[in-house]
Structure 1
Amino acid sequence: DLDEKTGRFVTLAREVHRACEIVILEGPESVAGAAEHIAGASSDLSHVMRRMAENARTGDTTGRTEDMALAAERERTLYQAVKDFRLAARRTLGKAT
């Protein structure tokens, strides 16, 4: 069900943003910067996903192909931001590999 999937996505996105806020406010600068990238990438993906969900509800298929490509690109950007965050966290903890 589209509404259920959208709700789950929104819930996860909110949790990501809350976690990033804590790291940005209380974490070391190197990790906070990486967390800011995650928050931005997550927000960018969220905008596309919300638009796609709304268009699906209304039956508007105009731009669907472009939105799918944009969502895939933004998902890759988010994935890279998460990888960068993990690396920054490992370095901060002295466990860089």
Structure 2
Amino acid sequence: MSSIIQHIIEGNLLKFYKSKEWFQIRAEALRRDNYECQMCKEKGKYHKAENVHHINEVKHRPDLSLTLDNLLCLCIRCHNDVHDRLDQQQKKKDKFINEERW
């Protein structure tokens, strides 16, 4: 078992995401997808990909953590959508503002 996969199994994801192996496969995925968000592209839109997402999560499938076919390039908004997280713009938009302004 490689030391990279061992880091994942031990719950040390920071070491995995700082590893040379991750940076290399991440760069390869970005080149493959032309640095474009693949979810935006499916909708006929363009946005630069800032994240490389694991289709099968690293915690659940450490054996696929460095497999190119398990990676998908996404923009921050789409990556947050995949993980059901709100980005900063959505948080500001959803924040309640009192209708009375003094």
Fold shared by both chains (TM-score > 0.5) = no
The structure carrying a bigger helix percent of its residues is 1
| Bigger Cα Rg | 2
Question: Which structure is higher in strand share?
Answer: 2
TM-score (norm 1): 0.29
Give the alignment's TM-score, normalised by structure 2: 0.28
Q: Relative CO higher for 1 or 2, CA cutoff 8 Å, sep ≥ 6?
A: 1
